[in-house]
Amino acid sequence: MASLYKKVISGKPYWYLREMGWVDGKPKLVSERYLGTAADIEALLDAREAAVLPERTRHLAFGDVAAAWGVLRDLGVAAIIDEVTGGRRADAGASAGTYLALAALNRLVAPCSKAAFADWWKTTAADRFTKIPAPVLDHRRFWDAMHAVTLGQLEEISRRIAVRIVEASGVDCSSVALDMTNFATFIDTANGKAPVAQRGKAKQKRSDLRLVGLGLVVTRDGGIPLTWHAYPGDRPDVTQFPAMIDQLLSQYQAVCAAAAVPDGAADMTVVFDAGQNSEGNFAHLASTGLRYAGSVPASDCPDLTALPASVRTIVDRERFGGLTAYDTRREVYGAERRAILTHSPELHASQARGFDGTTLAKAGKKLGELAATLARGKTRRGRDKVEAEIESITRKPWVRRVIAWQLTGDQPKDLRLTWETDPAARAALEEEIFGKHVLITDHDDWPVPEVVAGYRSQSEAEFSFRQMKDTRVVSFSPMHHWTEHNIRVHVFTCVLALQIAHLMRREARHAGLDMSVRELLSQLAAIGETVLIYPSAGGRPKARRMTTELSDQQRQLHETFNLAQWAPRS
């Protein structure tokens, strides 16, 4: 057994390492090794510690990139694109399919321009497990890949990817939600190379910018996009409905054929909001054989909204709380249809708060300011212009019903405004409209709770658009393209990123983790890779890699997305 032994020589302590043993049944010194003074021992320990410490470390993104890459690879996205577009260019570092799949991956986890892609790639561990080095990711190679795909091929690629998603995930696409929105761009007004970008009614309130419209059809099961349609931003959504329905029918027939489901289109239900309503659209929908669940503005159905609350019954308290409904039939858009009047106490309370606290309050403030200005006798405007301003302030139908006003005087200096909120009219409005929806469907066989649940799946499409307007993950912006062709390819990569994101969210939910896309990607992004770089004794420095410490939730995600296949071995 070895032990430390101190000798004091000339009053100074010196340390030795002694090893004792048993000889002839007695303890005896076997060996002795001089260690030096305490300072000598400290120096030896410091040197040894320095030898095992890395010279520097580097932290790389791993979890989110690896999980997304795994889904893209499992779906065979790059192979599908390459199969449609043809062979790889001789001077390209990777195939067109690989570049477009990488563009979608970047849209998913860290949206940036193609010019910044290579620099972003260096901050990830992806070059290690994808075997794609940063030098081949020059932005011009991405542009070459985008130009290698025709718009016709893009449609075929989108169709094949949708089929593959359904085959691989088993997602139920018998009920889908259709919705449309537009995205603001920063394309110059004088640019004539992008007719898909036009000024129109901006849903992001940027009427000064050119808009690109986008329609999506997403599954009720997981909100996964099945088909998409880009269109000029100045066109009303209602005009794009027939094209979306035709695309959906074609896509769904392909999905059913791949899954060997006969006559599958007859079982598909399309859910859409009142913004798509027109007699022509309903006629077109009927010609396709697709089923539907939609809505009519409650204000357009005074005969239903005037009915007393006693005619309504609870729908399903466990699923929908205090929601009540009245099931009937009425003439809607040229045909008799099943109509269900619903009333939600939560929506009622929310609309009441919003009307009183925002809509009515803003109108009242503007009328009060105008009345004060007129009372001072300082205005030079004629009576007709003042009346026009009052009409503009009270232009909303609900406000017109509740606010009563009177303008006296003929000359500008004599004009006086008085106004008041009519409590009886306010109460009548609340009783008639607040909290109410009118749902319409051709599903006479569905019970009311199923119609309500089907219509509420519209929120999946709305959620998808909100996600694409999130600038941090799965984002349409920034868009650094200014030609028709590249904008449409850009939209394709954005929709592909959304498909991957919602497939990942669905898979995590099946594993017991119900998370938003942003939360999911945030947790995956927290699974990093650390590179430990040690001093070199000649030649290249030695590097060791390891993943960061995992929380319980991250460990579950690590297993769910099989990140071990991409994790560093040493």
> How crowded is residue 139: how many other Cβ atoms within 10 Å of its Cβ?
14
How much is the pTM? 0.86
- 185 and 328 part of one domain: yes
- 183 and 276 part of one domain: yes
- 284 and 176 part of one domain: yes
Sign of CA dihedral 123, 128, 133, 137: negative
Rounded to whole angstroms, the Cα distance separating 139 from 118 reads: 8
- 549 and 443 part of one domain: no
- 325 and 454 part of one domain: yes
Rounded to whole angstroms, the Cα distance separating 89 from 8 reads: 80
Q: Among 244-253, 339-348, 443-452, 506-515, which stretch is predicted with the lowest mean pLDDT?
A: 244-253
- 262 and 302 part of one domain: yes
- 428 and 544 part of one domain: no
Rounded to whole angstroms, the Cα distance separating 229 from 247 reads: 8
- 317 and 206 part of one domain: yes
- Work out the mean pLDDT of the chain and round it to a whole number: 91
> How crowded is residue 503: how many other Cβ atoms within 10 Å of its Cβ?
21
If we measure between CA atoms, which residue out of 464, 466, 441, 462 comes closest to residue 452?
441
What is the largest distance, in Å, between two alpha-carbon atoms of the chain?
131
pLDDT digits (tens, 9 = 90+) for 415-471: 999 999 999 999 999 999 999 999 999 999 999 999 999 999 989 888 899 999 988
pLDDT digits (tens, 9 = 90+) for 261-280: 555 444 789 999 999 999 99
Alpha-helical (H) ranges within 322-359 are 345-354
Terminal alpha carbon distance of the chain: 36
- 458 and 329 part of one domain: yes
Peptide bond into 535 cis (omega under 30): no
Structure-block tokens of residue 376: 């001072």
Read off the pLDDT of each residue in 381-404 and give the average, rounded to a whole number: 95
pLDDT digits (tens, 9 = 90+) for 131-145: 999 999 999 999 999
Domain count, the chain: 4
- 229 and 307 part of one domain: yes
Tell me which residue range forms the domain holding 103. 59-149+485-570
Structural contact between residues 417 and 426, judged by C-beta atoms closer than 8 angstroms: no
CB within 8 A of 342, min separation 6: which ones? 312, 315, 323, 324, 325, 436, 437, 438, 439, 452
| Three-class DSSP category at 83 | helix
Alpha-helical (H) ranges within 259-382 are 279-288, 302-305, 317-320, 345-354, 360-375
